[in-house]
Amino acid sequence: MRRIAFVIYPGFHPIDLVGPHEVFQYAHRLTGGYDCRVVAPVAGPVRGHSGLPVHASYGVGDLEPDGIDTLLVAGGLGVDEARHDRALVDWVTAAGRGVRRLTSVCSGTLLLAATGLIDGCRVTTHWARERQLLEEHPELTVDCDPIFIRDGRVWTSAGVTAAMDLALALVEEDHGRDVAHAVAQEMVMFLRRPGSQSQFSVPLWSEQPASDPIRSVVAAINADPGARHTIGDLAGVAGLSPRHLQRRFTAEVGVPPAAYVERVRVEAARRALAESEEPVEAMARRLGFGTGETLRRVFQRRLGVPPSDYRDRFRAMKEYA
> pLDDT: is 218 or 187 the higher one?
218
163: Cβ contacts below 8 Å, ≥ 6 apart: 15, 16, 19, 20, 105, 106, 157
Residue 204: the pLDDT is 41
Q: What is the mean pLDDT of residues 273-296?
A: 89
Distances 164 to 16, 19, 40, 172 between C-alpha atoms, Å: 8, 5, 21, 12
Residue 305: the pLDDT is 75
Closest CA to 238 of 262, 259, 220: 220
Residue 222: the pLDDT is 85
267 pLDDT exceeds 50?
yes
Kindly report which listed range (134-138, 236-240, 251-255) carries the lowest average pLDDT score. Answer: 251-255
C-alpha angle 56/57/63, rounded to 5°?
Answer: 110
Residue 207: the pLDDT is 59
Angle separating helix axes 86-98 and 108-115, nearest 10 degrees: 80
Q: Buried b vs exposed e over 135-171: b needs ≥16 C-beta within 10 Å?
A: eebeebebebbbbbbbbeebbbbbbbbbbbbbbbbbb
Per the CB < 8 A criterion, the answer to whether 307 and 280 are in contact is: yes
93: Cβ contacts below 8 Å, ≥ 6 apart: 115, 116, 117
Interatomic CA distance for residues 249 and 221, integer angstroms: 13
Domains and CATH numbers, the chain: 2-186 (3.40.50.880), 205-321 (1.10.10.60)
255 pLDDT exceeds 60?
yes
201 pLDDT exceeds 50?
no
Q: How confident is the model at residue 148 (pLDDT cuts 50, 70, 90)?
A: confident
Q: How confident is the model at residue 178 (pLDDT cuts 50, 70, 90)?
A: confident
Query: Residue 104 in 3-state DSSP?
Result: strand
Q: How confident is the model at residue 185 (pLDDT cuts 50, 70, 90)?
A: confident
> pLDDT of 10-69, one tens digit each?
999 999 999 999 999 999 999 998 999 999 999 999 999 989 999 999 999 898 888 899
Q: What is the mean pLDDT of residues 271-284?
A: 85
> pLDDT: is 231 or 306 the higher one?
231
**Most confident of the following: 12-21, 122-131, 137-146:** 12-21
Interatomic CA distance for residues 242 and 217, integer angstroms: 12
Q: What is the mean pLDDT of residues 145-164?
A: 85
313 pLDDT exceeds 70?
no
Residue 200: the pLDDT is 45
Angle separating helix axes 177-186 and 14-31, nearest 10 degrees: 120
